[in-house]
Amino acid sequence: MTLLVTGIGELVTNDPDAGAGLLGLVPDAAVLIDGDRVAWVGPAASAPAGDERLDAGGAAVIPGFVDSHAHLVFAGDRSAEFEARMTGEPYTGGGIRTTVAATRAATDAELRANARRLLREARRQGTTTMEIKSGYGLTVADELRCLRIARELTDETTFLGAHVIPADFQDRPDDYVELVSGSMLAAVTPYAKWVDVFCERGAFDGDQARAILTAGAKAGLGLRVHASQLAAGPGVRLAVELGAASADHCTHLTGADVDALAGGDTVATLLPGAEFSTRSPYPDARRLLDAGVTVALASDCNPGSSYTSSMSFALALAVREMRMTPAEALWAATAGGARALRRDDVGVLRPGARADLVVLDAPSYLHLAYRPGVTLTTTVLHNGVPS
Ligand SMILES: [Zn+2]
């Protein structure tokens, strides 16, 4: 069964061979979908026939958003902490333990229902690939059930047992590092594609992060690092040195960090929803882009520091507050996210790619940042199926 999406006023392909500029823009375009894959992309006037037709009515079409950083498996809500922050208290990361307690107390069914709700919410807003982390269980059994639930929802599952040191290990953190890189890692490996560490003062230092990431790599997992969100630290350089797919946050960078990112193949994933929700300075995206670093944007959806699943919100912040151009921001939220997950079948519309695309209620992708706070998705196709 083939589907011809036609009447596309402006098509973003992210394929520089297919169209103009960074976004590979094609005006008056069509996309032929065969099953779950893109079969053909080009001008509508020369489009092949399809068994069915979807007329975009002159609207813009973009690849589905690739959200490469999200924490969806949790219970509870931290709106009171948000309120306190907005009335002057600083963000310290300590509230993570509140969510850990609620998550441990929740049933599998409650955790599953909440994660599904958030995934549906993201899908409605155009996200067709979503990475999901554990990290609110922090026992072998709780990390395992969180990753099992995550694996029901996505292939991009990340083991974040090293989110914070749980309260009962507070005075013996190295024992916890040993647990995470030993029996906890062994238990969750069948359900995880990636391993991640919150490398930050108050969480895990450079040596602890290195031990966990090295153990994860040995177990066959890809690497990701929460790095330099609250202060400059060793996380970014460690990520590059170990060949991590992504260093996430990158809010407080040294010159050496930027040089390392520019010289390696680790993506810098920026999460402006976190700076928005913690009222913190935004990362310097221009400095990274000007140094030639590959930049991704992601939601960081989590109940404490960024409770939004909206990629278009991240994109609008990146344009307004971080001086990314609208084209750079959309690329980062689609193709950039795919790079951060080491994927070449999503975040792009070309023959062979997954048929993940979004018809916007707008004539141009520019409206994503130009009309902040407005959900502009009319149709979201995921694997060729409307959702
Ligand atoms: Zn995070």
How would you class 168 by CB atoms within 10 Å of its CB: exposed for 0-12, middle for 13-18, buried for 19 or more?
Answer: exposed
Residue 34 backbone dihedrals phi, psi, to 5 degrees: -120, 105
Q: How many Å lie between the centroid of ligand 1 and the Cα of residue 96?
A: 11
C-alpha 275 – ligand 1 centre gap (Å): 12
Cα 142 to averaged position of ligand 1 atoms, centre (Å) = 18
Gap from CA of 177 to ligand 1 centroid (Å) = 19
Q: How far is the CA of 88 from the centre of ligand 1 (A)?
A: 22
| 290 alpha carbon – ligand 1 mean position (Å) | 25
Arithmetic mean of pLDDT, 244-253: 98
How far, in Å, from the CA of 139 to the mean position of ligand 1? 19
> Around Cβ 164, how many Cβ atoms within 10 Å?
24
The identity of residue 104, as a single letter, is R
Beta bridge partners of residue 10, listed in sequence order: 27, 60
Q: What is the mean pLDDT of the chain?
A: 96
CA 276 / ligand 1 centre spacing (Å):
14
pLDDT tens per residue across span 377-387:
999 999 999 98
Please tell me the distance between residue 57's alpha carbon and the centre of ligand 1 in angstroms.
38
Task: Tell me, in angstroms, the distance from the centre of ligand 1 to residue 70's CA.
Answer: 6
The residue type of 149 is I
State in Å: Cα 249 to ligand 1 middle.
Answer: 8
Cα 173 to ligand 1 centre (Å)? 21
**pLDDT band with cut points at 50, 70 and 90 for residue 93:** low
Q: Separation of 192 CA from ligand 1 center, angstroms?
A: 16
The pLDDT assigned to 270 comes to 98
Q: Classify residue 342 as left (phi > 0), alpha (psi -120 to 50) or beta.
A: left
Percent of the chain with pLDDT over 90: 96
Residue type at position 373: G
Please tell me the distance between residue 224's alpha carbon and the centre of ligand 1 in angstroms: 10
Give 148's contacts (C-beta < 8 A, 6+ positions apart).
Answer: 191
Q: pLDDT tens across 181-228, in order?
A: 999 999 999 999 999 999 999 899 999 999 999 999 999 999 999 999
Q: Report CA(168)–ligand 1 centroid distance (Å).
A: 22
Q: What spacing in Å lies between the alpha carbon of 163 and ligand 1's midpoint?
A: 9
pLDDT at 102 over 90: yes
Distance 227 CA to ligand 1 centre (A): 10
pTM exceeding the 0.85 threshold for the entire prediction: yes
Whether the Cβ atoms of residue 198 and residue 176 lie closer than 8 Å to each other? no
User: How far, in Å, from the CA of 18 to the mean position of ligand 1?
Assistant: 34
Tell me the average pLDDT across 301-315. Answer: 97
Flag whether pLDDT at 253 surpasses 60: yes
For residue 69, how far is its CA from the centre of ligand 1 (angstroms)?
6
How far does the centroid of ligand 1 lie from the alpha carbon of residue 195, in Å?
12
Domains of the chain (ranges; CATH) run 2-64+347-386 (2.30.40.10), 66-340 (3.20.20.140)
How far, in Å, from the CA of 300 to the mean position of ligand 1?
Answer: 5
For ligand 1, the distance from its centroid to the CA atom of residue 186, given in whole angstroms, is 22
pLDDT at 94 (0 to 100): 65
State residue 92's pLDDT score.
64
Q: β-strand 2-12 against 157-162: which pairing, if any?
A: unpaired
* Mean pLDDT across 285-311: 97
**Which pLDDT value is given to residue 89?**
80
Give pLDDT, residue 90. Answer: 74
For residue 47, report the distance from its CA to the centre of ligand 1, in Å.
Answer: 42
Cα 363 to ligand 1 centroid, rounded to whole Å? 33
Amino acid 88: pLDDT: 85
Distance 299 CA to ligand 1 centre (A): 9
Amino acid at 381: L
Terminal-to-terminal C-alpha distance of the chain: 17
The pLDDT confidence band at residue 294, using thresholds 50, 70 and 90, is very high
Strands (E), 83-151: 127-130, 132-133
pLDDT digits (tens, 9 = 90+) for 148-176: 999 999 999 999 999 999 999 999 999 99
Question: 3-state class of 317 per DSSP?
Answer: helix
Q: H or E segment at 115?
A: helix 108-124
Distance 97 CA to ligand 1 centre (A): 14
Give me ligand 1 centre to Cα 225, in Å: 9
Closest by CA position to 349, among listed 33, 7, 27:
33
Instruction: For CA atoms 244, 246, 249, 255, give the dihedral sign.
Output: positive
CA of 193 to the centre of ligand 1 (A): 16
Q: Say how many Å lie between the CA of residue 24 and the centre of ligand 1.
A: 30
